[in-house]
């Protein structure tokens, strides 16, 4: 059983935690470790609310340990660095995403793919090397090994940059790895939520032609005029779907709700790739024949390694890509979770932690 941080850690910390699978968050006093030689300590300024937070708060994937302090889209300013820290100094703007540790000895780690390390340690609800539970960014400060800390470029707004640390890298990485984010490619993005809306921005900035695929026709104007998509496809409209058959090189599927993959496979050209970025609760409905015809591929992807995450943030800064956000106060977080459940947000909630988290 994991030791609580309080038993072994000396630095007082404060945040909001869920105490059970009701998922309701409330103020929580805990502690964090002293700044180790390779650690960066930073004051949290903003933290995005990811759909994963909601799943884990309510233990929908199992394995949630309470009290649970969520948050893995964290930005802040460095307040202290350990004696061996090389990349950061006090005052730097930094970010921490989904991971705070890995084994550093497996093939994945050796190839800058810490996200696929079997021993990767999540930013919250994980067990750190010292046996304590990790607590996320719905809190006053973080202390993180510098390997897992990202530089936030000077010109980026910190609140709108926060969601890139999860939603951004989750869409950028597959566009690069599956060679879809480049000129000449036609990329479909299914679902226009937290992931989808930044996926559109990255795919466009990387040079692809982008079509948003959505169940709701009323998102068309937004997708094209605001997010910069080239076209819009209503997935419930058989005529539109028929006309778009065999036109796409790849599709990023960001939909958490259960859905059939067959119509999406039909949109792909031969050798087209359907990439799953969300994890619906039920197993995928995936008939084999449509894969055989045209040598199509269904793949997956999740976040990215630390090297690529830095590359993504630097690319985003250069191309003025940020998330579209609604900034909220800490005491609004339970309402925000209810709204997120109803997909009532454009497109990401970000908590103004520094200005609204009040000490108990």
Q: Smallest distance, Å, CB 102 to Zn ion?
A: 5
Give the shortest CB-109-to-Zn ion separation in angstroms.
3
Minimum CB distance to Zn ion smaller for 80 or for 324 = 324
Contact 41, 13 (CB under 8 A): no
Q: Of 109 and 353, which has the nearer Cβ to Zn ion?
A: 109
Write down the least CB distance from residue 191 to Zn ion, Å: 15
* Cβ at position 185, least distance to Zn ion in Å: 25
Least Å distance between CB 103 and Zn ion?
Answer: 3
> At closest approach, how far in Å is the CB of 72 from Zn ion?
5
Least spacing, CB of residue 194 vs Zn ion, in Å: 8
Write out the chain in H/E/C secondary structure: CCECHHHHCCEEEEEEEECCCCCCEEEEEEEECCCCCCEEEEEEEEEEECHHHHHHHCCCCCCCCCCECCCCCEEEEEEEECCCCCCCCCCCEEEECCEEECCCCCHHHHCCCHHHCCCCEECCCCECCCCEECCCCCECEEEEEHHHCEECCCCCCHHHHHHHHCHHHHHHHHHHHCCCCCCCCEEEEECCCHHHHHHHHHHHHCCCEEEEEECCHHHHHHHHHHCCCCEEEECCCHHHHHHCCCCEEEEEECCCCCCECHHHHHHEEEEEEEEECCCCCCCCECCCHHHHCCCCEEEECCCCCHHHHHHHHHHHHHCCCCCCEEEECHHHHHHHHHHHHCCCCCCEEEEEHHHHCCCC
Both tokens assigned to 178: 């599956």
Q: Which residue has the tokens 């800064």?
A: 317
- Residue 52 or 64 having the CB closest to Zn ion: 52
Nearer to Zn ion, 73 or 249 (CB): 73
C-beta of 173 vs 211, nearer to Zn ion: 173
Instruction: Rank residues 106 and 327 by Cβ distance to Zn ion and give the closer one.
Output: 106
Locate tokens 């109803």: which residue? Answer: 342
- Contact call for residues 19 and 51 (beta carbons, < 8 A): no
Cβ 97 to Zn ion, closest distance in Å?
Answer: 8
Comparison of 109 and 252: residue with beta carbon closer to Zn ion? 109
- Min. distance of Cβ 26 from Zn ion in angstroms? 22
For tokens 């795919």, what's the residue?
203
Between residues 24 and 106, which has the closer beta carbon with respect to Zn ion?
106
How near is the Cβ of 8 to Zn ion at its closest, in Å? 24
- Tell me which residue has tokens 């079509």: 211
* Phi, psi of 356, deg, nearest 5: -125, -10
User: Can you give the binding site for Zn ion, defined by CB under 5 A?
Assistant: 50, 52, 102-103, 106, 109, 117, 166
CB-nearer residue toward Zn ion: 109 or 208: 109
Give CA–CA dist 172/311, Å, rounded: 10
Chain mean position to CA 27: 24
User: Measured from the CB atom, is 122 or 188 closer to Zn ion?
Assistant: 122
């Amino acid at each position: 059983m994991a030791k609580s941080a309080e038993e072994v850690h000396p630095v007082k910390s404060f945040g909001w935690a869920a105490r059970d699978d009701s998922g309701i968050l409330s103020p929580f006093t805990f502690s964090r470790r002293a700044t180790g030689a390779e650690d960066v300590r930073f004051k949290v300024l903003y933290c995005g609310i990811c759909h994963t937070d909601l799943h884990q708060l309510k233990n929908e994937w199992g394995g949630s340990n309470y009290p649970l302090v969520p948050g893995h889209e964290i930005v802040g300013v460095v307040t202290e660095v350990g004696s061996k820290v090389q990349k950061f100094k006090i005052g730097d703007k930094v970010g921490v995403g989904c991971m705070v540790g890995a084994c550093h000895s497996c093939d994945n780690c050796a190839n800058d793919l810490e996200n696929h390390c079997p021993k990767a340690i999540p930013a919250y609800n994980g067990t750190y090397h010292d046996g304590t539970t990790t607590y996320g960014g719905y809190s006053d400060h973080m202390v993180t090994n510098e390997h897992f800390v990202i530089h936030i470029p000077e010109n980026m707004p910190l609140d709108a940059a926060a969601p890139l640390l999860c939603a951004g890298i989750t869409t950028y990485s597959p566009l690069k790895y599956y060679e879809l984010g480049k000129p000449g490619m036609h990329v479909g993005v299914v679902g226009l939520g937290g992931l989808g809306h930044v996926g559109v921005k990255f795919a466009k900035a990387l040079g692809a032609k982008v079509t948003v695929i959505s169940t709701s026709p009323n998102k068309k104007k937004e997708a094209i005029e605001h997010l910069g998509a080239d076209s819009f496809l209503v997935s419930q409209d058989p005529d539109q779907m028929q006309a778009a058959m065999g036109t796409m090189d790849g599709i990023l599927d960001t939909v958490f709700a259960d859905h059939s993959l067959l119509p999406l496979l039909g949109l792909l050209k031969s050798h087209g790739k359907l990439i799953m970025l969300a994890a619906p609760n039920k197993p995928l409905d995936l008939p084999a024949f449509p894969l055989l015809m045209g040598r199509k591929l269904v793949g997956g992807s999740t976040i990215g390694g630390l090297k690529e995450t830095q590359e993504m943030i630097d690319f985003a800064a250069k191309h003025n890509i940020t998330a579209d956000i609604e900034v909220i106060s800490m005491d609004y977080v339970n309402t925000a979770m209810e709204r997120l459940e109803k997909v009532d947000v454009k497109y990401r909630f970000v908590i103004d932690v520094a200005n609204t988290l009040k000490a108990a």
